[in-house]
């Protein structure tokens, strides 16, 4: 406490730069998101593009001095924006967990597991094989070929749950069975992906990876079981506490639990996002949606756009001017996209789903977004990646996140609305009580949706 008291609070230039970063990212993300909506694209596409324009790819080339002032290389300054974005993405994932219907697992749990495994193992295998074909000139000086190949496989097999959550919310597809299956499969993919990342990190540091993974798996099992036991009673009590028109207690306690659960999973060696999802699925799910609608509005209108804009800031597309880098990037992109699409599509079709359902699942599972960026940052930190290979992996994350929403919307519009989806949509309608603040049109209720166009 004495150390904290002796430390001067944040102010001066660091605070000014941080506020400018958040304000510019939010304004540009909102403007480009609205533009994307006008031309028929989800807001997510414009929000991701905002970061690319403000990052080293464009602003850094046009005005290096201004770019350096707005986004300095100072680590402590960068950590301020990262902390803001991480807090927002925790809430975004928690809201996705709160809208997850566990009954989909009882009804189609086997199918979700099949889609998840196929979408995990196929790109993992293809990624490892691709890692052995990447030119040696692009490998990090301290990286071993085998560790790099395994790392590339892990980066290719993950799915970005935050991006999927934002996409489903933008397209009003969270209540659809395809949306629920996407969330279930993405949670499993990410959980396995973080375990594999722990293994790769241990191998890169020379530690024994097996014990690390086994310990993490055991702790995760205990954590999820305990969260399921206490989440329901607490959530139902919060729904009955106070006036539903002033849902302060539900929002306050809910956010506190999300953050604490994230801290617990981070302390156990897993990603904090996993803890946030568990908080949403085990506690927030039992709170009346209308009481948490203000939280969703804030997250979707403020935190999510800044988070998505920050993804583009990590990229430097000027590195693609080198032919070997460009060809390697295109090859990695094609392999990554084919692996996810093929795995999810084949698993969906073999499970009795329609062609359009398979395409929707393939497109959604192909979104890698910030999860792959985080993994790339880990690779950069432990020396498995260098700047060039980092840019390639982040490029894959950005392109797959941008191309997924249009395909998902097109395919899902041709899937017939089922009765359980209508009931689920009506039950989740309380999340949309304040749509005017979200920057887009008000979502339709499930009963307002028309019969899909199958032409």
Q: 3-state SS of the chain?
A: CHHHHHCCCCCHHHHHHHHHHHHHHHHHHHHHHHHHHHCCCCHHHHHHHHHHHHCCCCHHHHCHHHHHHHCCCCHHHHHHHHHHHHHHHHHHHHHHHHCCCCHHHHHHHHHHHHHHHHHHHHHHHHHHHHHCCCCHHHCCCCCCHHHHHHHHHHHHHCCCHHHHHHHHHHCCCCCCHHHHHHHHHHHHHHHHHHHHHHHHHHHHCCCCHHHHHHHHHHHHHHHHHHHHHHHHHHHHHHHHCCCCCCCHHHHHHHHHHHHHHHHHHHHCCCCHHHHHHHHHHHCHHHCCHHHHHHHHHHHHHHHHHHHHHHHHHCCCHHHHHCHHHHHHHHHHHHHHHHHHHHHHHHHHHHCCCCHHHHHHHHHHHCCCHHHHHHHHHHHHHHCCCCHHHHHHHHHHHHHHHHHHHHHHHHHHCCCCCCHHHHHHHHHCHHHHCCHHHHCCCCCCCHHHCCCCCCC
Whether residue 238 lies inside any domain: the answer is yes
Q: 407 exposed, middle or buried (CB, 10 Å; 0-12, 13-18, 19+)?
A: middle
pLDDT bucket at 81, cuts 50 / 70 / 90: very high
Cα 176 to Cα 449: distance, rounded to the nearest angstrom: 11
Query: Furthest-apart CA pair in the chain: how many Å?
Result: 69
Cα 34 to Cα 42: distance, rounded to the nearest angstrom: 9
Q: 385 exposed, middle or buried (CB, 10 Å; 0-12, 13-18, 19+)?
A: buried
Whether residue 70 lies inside any domain: the answer is no
The pLDDT of residue 276 is 87
Cα 130 to Cα 331: distance, rounded to the nearest angstrom: 9
pLDDT bucket at 31, cuts 50 / 70 / 90: very high
Whether residue 130 lies inside any domain: the answer is yes
The pLDDT of residue 25 is 94
Cα 449 to Cα 204: distance, rounded to the nearest angstrom: 51
The CATH number of the domain where 102 resides is what?
1.20.1530.20
Whether residue 168 lies inside any domain: the answer is yes
Cα 178 to chain centroid distance, Å, stands at 17
Tokens of 15: 């605070």
Contact, 94 vs 356, CB < 8 A?
Answer: no
CA distances from 229 to 15, 136, 235, 282, 283 (A): 42, 51, 11, 8, 10
The pLDDT of residue 3 is 53
Domain that holds residue 432: 83-441
Listed residue (359, 404, 425, 431) closest to 173, CA to CA: 425
- Per residue in 407-423, pLDDT (tens digit) is 888 888 888 777 766 77
The pLDDT of residue 435 is 42
Contact, 454 vs 414, CB < 8 A?
Answer: yes
What total number of domains does the chain contain? 1
How large is the average pLDDT for residues 442-454? Answer: 47
- Per residue in 218-265, pLDDT (tens digit) is 877 888 888 888 877 877 777 665 554 445 678 888 899 999 998 988
- Per residue in 256-269, pLDDT (tens digit) is 999 999 898 888 76
pLDDT averaged over the chain? 79
Q: Which of 29-43, 123-137, 179-193, 195-209 has the lowest mean pLDDT?
A: 195-209
- Per residue in 337-366, pLDDT (tens digit) is 998 888 889 888 888 888 888 898 888 888
Whether residue 30 lies inside any domain: the answer is no
**Most confident listed range (105-114, 170-179, 290-299, 379-388):** 290-299
Listed residue (94, 442, 427) closest to 279, CA to CA: 94
Tokens of 322: 């080198």
Cα 31 to Cα 435: distance, rounded to the nearest angstrom: 17
- Per residue in 93-113, pLDDT (tens digit) is 888 778 766 666 666 667 778
Helices 304-313 and 387-412 pack at an angle, to 10 degrees, of 140
């Amino acid at each position: 406490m004495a150390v904290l008291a002796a430390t001067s609070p944040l102010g001066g230039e660091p605070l000014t730069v941080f506020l400018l970063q958040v304000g510019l990212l939010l304004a540009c993300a909102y403007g480009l998101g609205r533009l994307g909506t006008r031309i028929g694209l989800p807001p997510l596409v414009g929000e991701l593009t905002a970061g690319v324009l403000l990052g080293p790819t464009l602003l850094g080339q046009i005005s290096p001095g201004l770019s350096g002032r707005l986004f300095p290389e100072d680590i402590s300054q960068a950590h301020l924006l990262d902390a803001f974005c991480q807090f927002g993405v925790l809430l975004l994932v928690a809201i996705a967990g709160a809208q997850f219907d566990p009954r989909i697992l009882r009804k189609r749990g086997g199918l979700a597991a099949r889609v998840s495994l196929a979408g995990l193992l196929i790109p993992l295998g293809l990624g490892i094989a691709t890692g052995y074909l990447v030119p040696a000139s692009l490998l990090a000086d301290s990286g071993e070929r085998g560790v790099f190949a395994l790392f590339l496989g892990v980066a290719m097999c993950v799915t970005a749950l935050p991006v999927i959550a934002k996409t489903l919310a933008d397209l009003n597809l969270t209540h659809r069975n395809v949306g629920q299956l996407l969330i279930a499969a993405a949670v499993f993919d990410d959980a396995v992906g973080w375990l594999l990342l722990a293994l790769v990190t241990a191998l890169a540091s020379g530690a024994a990876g097996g014990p690390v993974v086994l310990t993490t798996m055991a702790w995760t099992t205990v954590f999820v079981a305990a969260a399921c036991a206490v989440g329901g009673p607490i959530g139902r009590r919060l729904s009955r506490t106070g006036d539903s028109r002033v849902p302060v207690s539900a929002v306050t306690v809910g956010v506190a639990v999300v953050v604490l659960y994230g801290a617990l999973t981070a302390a156990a060696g897993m990603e904090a996002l996993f803890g946030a999802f568990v908080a949403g699925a085990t506690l927030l799910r039992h709170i009346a949606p209308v009481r948490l609608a203000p939280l969703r509005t804030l997250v979707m209108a403020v935190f999510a756009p800044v988070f998505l804009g920050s993804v583009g800031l990590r990229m430097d597309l000027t590195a693609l001017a080198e032919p070997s880098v460009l060809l390697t990037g295109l090859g990695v992109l094609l392999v990554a996209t084919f692996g996810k699409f093929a795995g999810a599509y084949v698993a969906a079709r073999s499970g009795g789903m329609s062609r359009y359902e398979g395409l929707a699942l393939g497109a959604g599972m192909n979104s890698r977004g910030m999860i792959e960026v985080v993994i790339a940052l880990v690779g950069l930190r432990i020396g498995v990646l260098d700047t060039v290979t980092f840019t390639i992996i982040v490029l894959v994350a950005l392109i797959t996140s941008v191309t997924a929403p249009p395909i998902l919307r097109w395919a899902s519009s041709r899937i017939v609305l089922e009765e359980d989806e209508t009931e689920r949509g009506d039950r989740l309608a309380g999340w949309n009580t304040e749509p005017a603040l979200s920057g887009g049109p008000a979502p339709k209720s499930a009963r307002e949706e028309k019969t899909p166009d199958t032409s």
